[in-house]
Amino acid sequence: MSSDLSPIDRAKFFAARRATDYVENGMRVGLGTGSTAAWLVKCLGEMVRDDGLNIVGVPTSLQTATLARDVGITILSLDEARWLDLTIDGADEYDGNLNLIKGGGGALLQEKIVATASERMIVIADASKQVDTLGAFPLPVEVIPFGWQTTKTLVEEMLIGLDVMGRQSTLRMNGSQPFVTDEGNYILDLNLRRIGNAQQLSLVLNQAPGVVENGLFVDICDAVVIGYSNGKVEVRDINDGTTETGHIEIVEKDNLFSDISE
């Protein structure tokens, strides 16, 4: 690990390193998308190369698929793998019940499909992602391009009367053009500020014509691994109600991680 990483990147790395403890030979593993998940893919690639780890990865984006191939992980599509032992992914926010907001990287649709096709979902994150109530991070909603402005209006109208503090939504952009997901869709980012009932909101949003999926992951995550810049890691398991604390010691090897950035 590079010694000049920022504290947040160090925390992400330590969370990813601890999460590899869940991965065993022969597993079919869902590989998340984003800067934290990229640390995990790199760590698993190191284990494949140095320790002979034998796994199959199912990536949640083209970006993750490319990285997994680069580090030597065998990948399959979800249709080929069919059912997974485990998915490990990051999150933009998580609350005390391990409900999540995901989709900051634009891969929420594949991420949710892969996570729900897994026996377990583990989230890796730094401590800044924990919130008392979801909603400070804008909620991504994937919509088809056709009639997206109509869909945007419908979504904003549906928010009236729901337990949220804001109703403004914006089309995610990539420079001067709309951001396009791997499935060719657009993303609306909902600035809700506070989500009082995540399950209700998720169900309501998915009723709007044109909405493909939303970034609320409710009752999907089984455990969260929280990393800190000093090597401390905390594991919270929602199923058995336990919290474990440990510390990761790093032995410098090849600088395998130096090319990961935000």
**Bigger pLDDT: 261 or 62?**
62
State the residue for tokens 């780890």. 53
User: If you ran DSSP here, which 8-state letter would residue 240 be given?
Assistant: T
Q: Residue 161 annotated as binding?
A: no
102 is in an annotated binding site: yes
More confident residue, 5 or 122: 122
Q: Give the mean pLDDT of the chain.
A: 95
Mean pLDDT of 226-252: 93
Name the token pair of 188. Answer: 């609306």
d(CA 206, CA 148): 14
Q: What does the DSSP assignment read for 20-87? A: GGG--TT-EEEE--SHHHHHHHHHHHHHHHHH----EEEESSHHHHHHHHHTT-EE--HHHH-SBSEE
Confirm or deny that 60 is annotated as ligand binding: no
Q: Quick one: pLDDT at residue 4?
A: 81
Q: How high is the pLDDT of residue 261?
A: 41
State the DSSP code for 138: P
Query: Cβ–Cβ contacts within 10 Å for residue 47, how many?
Result: 18
Compute the average pLDDT of residues 147-167.
Answer: 97
Instruction: Pick the catalytic residue from 93, 111, 142, 213.
Output: 111
pLDDT at 251: 67
Domain 139-214: homologous superfamily in CATH: ACT domain (3.30.70.260)
Phi-psi region of 223 (alpha: psi -120 to 50; beta: other; left: phi over 0): beta
- Are 7-129+219-247 and 139-214 in the same CATH fold? no
Is pLDDT at 60 greater than 50 in this prediction?
yes
Contact between residue 142 and residue 213 where contact means Cβ atoms under 8 Å apart? yes
Enumerate the domain spans of the chain. 7-129+219-247, 139-214
Q: Is 34 annotated as a binding residue?
A: yes
pLDDT of residue 255: 52
> Would you say 196 is a known binding-site residue?
no
3-state SS class at 182: coil
What's the pLDDT score for residue 250?
Answer: 75
Q: How confident is the model at residue 249 (pLDDT cuts 50, 70, 90)?
A: confident
| CB 217 within 8 Å of CB 211 | no
User: Is 90 known as a binding-site position?
Assistant: yes
Number of H helices, E strands in the chain: 7, 17
At the second CATH level, the architecture of 7-129+219-247 is 3-Layer(aba) Sandwich (3.40)
Structure tokens at 10: 């160090």
User: Does residue 121 contact residue 89 with C-beta atoms inside 8 Å?
Assistant: yes
Taking the C-alpha atoms of residue 166 and residue 17, their distance in angstroms, rounded to an integer, is 37
Q: Is the pLDDT of residue 41 over 70?
A: yes
pLDDT tens digit sequence for 115-140: 999 999 999 999 999 999 999 999 99
Asked whether 102 and 110 are in contact (CB, 8 A), the reply is no
Residue 92 annotated as binding? yes
Flag whether 219 is marked binding.
Answer: no
- Percent of the chain exceeding pLDDT 90 equals 92
249 catalytic? Reply is no
Average pLDDT, stretch 54-78?
A: 98
How far, in Å, CA of 65 to CA of 127, rounded?
27
